Structure 1
Amino acid sequence: MDNLNSRQTRIINPDRSGLNSFFLKVYSYMGMALLLTSLTTFVCVTMFPMQTLALTSNLVTTLILFAVLMGIVWVASRSAMQNPAKAFGLMMAYSIVMGLFFTSLVMFLQPKSIILAFITTAALFAGMALYGVTTKRDMSKLGTILFGAVFALIIGGLLNLFMGGTILYLGLSVIGVIVFAIITAYDMNNLKKMYVQVAGSAQAEQGVAVMGALNLYIDFINLFTYILRLFAFSSNNN
């Protein structure tokens, strides 16, 4: 009985050092993915710009790559708890494919715009992540609303491809920043609760850390994409 009470106390009130160590692992994995995306983009821009642009500009290949990304997320989420190493490998593969997409996004932008967009993204991401992990509010109720918002952004993005206009482009970019800023806080809030549930199980903690890192990586990438579009829009106007 004493062992059971001790176990329950550890799960309900995990020690701060354990929580900090968990989040350090999450951000380490996320950082590795971002670094791999950056390296992939750099290699493609400097060595294979036209080939990569042709690949990501073609509708069929773009849809195939998008399906690959969705498949990676699906498989990783299903295997993370049983095989964290496999999920981590899939996360690295995801970051490489994202590097291909970013090649066509940054190829024609000024380095200054890219750097400013990255700094802005990092600051906004850090602020929202901090709010998500420190707030006492339960953000789980926002899940359905945020899912609907992301779906609306996808539909809006498709419409922008065929009916592109300045107002639609700018509006989607602003809304995208707001939505993924909130999702960042939501994912951090949810990740903290998941850690509380699995604290004490090394494999479960590892699985949650990998999936948490993947979710936050996707949040960061989307934030950066929408903010980069705003900086590019401002730069073009100037």
Structure 2
Amino acid sequence: MAEFDTIRTGASVRTAQIDAGLRAHMNKVYGTMSVGMLITALAAWAIAGLATTTDPASAVAQLPNGTMLNSIGGAIYMSPLRWVVMLAPLAFIFLGWGALMRKGSAATVQLGFFAFAALIGLSMSSIFLVFTAYSITQTFLVTAIAFAGLSLWGYTTKKDISAWGSFLIMGVIGLIVAMIVNWFLQSPVMMYAISAIGLLIFAGLTAFYTQDIKNTYVAHAAHGDQEWLDKAAYDGALSLYISFLNMFQFLLMFMGQE
């Protein structure tokens, strides 16, 4: 009986340690993601400011809403450099992130995440030239509330939603194909349909990624590999960051005011 009580007590202590570790792990995930969002917002705002001018004499182009671009803006948004700006974040994800996770230290992975957030800020800076600051802020707050609710549900639900992953990733691939097709068609109706479907897909991915981050930590916490767990936290932060960012962009199509 005493031996059983000892085993039970040890199991309870271990469970409590895992629970405390999980809370710290999730705090690191959300904290890293939040810092990444801040870097993206500041980078986008700063670059948009550097790219515009109020002096007609120094303007190289004028947007339909009256915003004037200086030589920096012309290079970023109107020259072939714009393709580099658009594709650099994708190249980082597909070519660089996996190598960082395999070979880099936790500190290097964290730095890579923040560098990616800055690249996203550069590629998204044009939203400050198209939409009003009020509508961007409003959309961000709505996205934050929706994201918090979806992530909380993914964390607390007892339902196993791991099967959602493959289905949702297939949806993302279909979404990318549809966006490429519409790049040629330039159909506003199709763009709104893509935005609505994309919003649903990344809402589902938010819940899925949250549960996956939680389950991954619980499955590996007993091994005590803190370096791996730290890198896993940054990888989880990246997944949630991308989901949040896509939800924000798709919502901006509906809520953004030019």
1:115 aligned onto 2:118 = no
Match of 1:62 in 2: 86
Aligned match of 1:137 in 154, 159, 165? Answer: 159
The 1:64/1:202 distance shift into structure 2, 3 A limit, reads: closer
Instruction: Kindly state the Cα deviation for residue 61 of structure 1 after the two structures are TM-superposed.
Output: 5.4
SS in structure 2 opposite 1:140?
Answer: coil
1:102 aligned onto 2:124 = yes
Distance 2:9 2:96 in 1: 38
Letter in 2 for 1:102: M
Equivalent residues in 2 for 1:198-237, closer than 5 Å: 198-199=220-221, 200-232=224-256, 235=257
Letter in 1 for 2:179: G
TM-score under structure 2 length normalisation = 0.80
Contact 2:45 2:128 in 1 (8 A): no
Equivalent residues in 2 for 1:39-78, closer than 5 Å: 39-49=42-52, 50=73, 51-54=75-78, 58-59=82-83, 62-78=86-102
Deviates more, 1:181-190 or 1:39-48: 39-48
Distance 1:64 1:25 in 2: 26
Instruction: Kindly state the Cα deviation for residue 7 of structure 1 after the two structures are TM-superposed.
Output: 8.7
Aligned match of 1:157 in 174, 179, 183? Answer: 179
Match of 2:58 in 1: none
- RMSD across aligned positions (CA): 2.7
Contact 1:180 1:219 in 2 (8 A): yes
The 1:68/1:17 distance shift into structure 2, 3 A limit, reads: closer
The count of aligned residue pairs is: 231
Match of 2:169 in 1: 147
SS in structure 2 opposite 1:175?
Answer: helix
Bigger relative CO (Cα 8 Å, ≥ 6 apart): 1
TM-score under structure 1 length normalisation = 0.86
Deviates more, 1:12-21 or 1:172-181: 12-21
Aligned match of 2:38 in 15, 35, 40? Answer: 35
Deviations 1:45-87 (Å, cap 9, x if unpaired)? 11134143236874465345532343233333434xx621111
Match of 1:176 in 2: 198
Distance 2:81 2:10 in 1: 54
Instruction: Kindly state the Cα deviation for residue 12 of structure 1 after the two structures are TM-superposed.
Output: 6.7
Equivalent residues in 2 for 1:85-96, closer than 5 Å: 85-96=107-118
Larger CA Rg, structure 1 vs 2: 2
Distance 1:28 1:132 in 2: 18
User: Where in structure 1 are there 5+ consecutive unaligned residues?
Assistant: none
Q: Percent identity?
A: 27
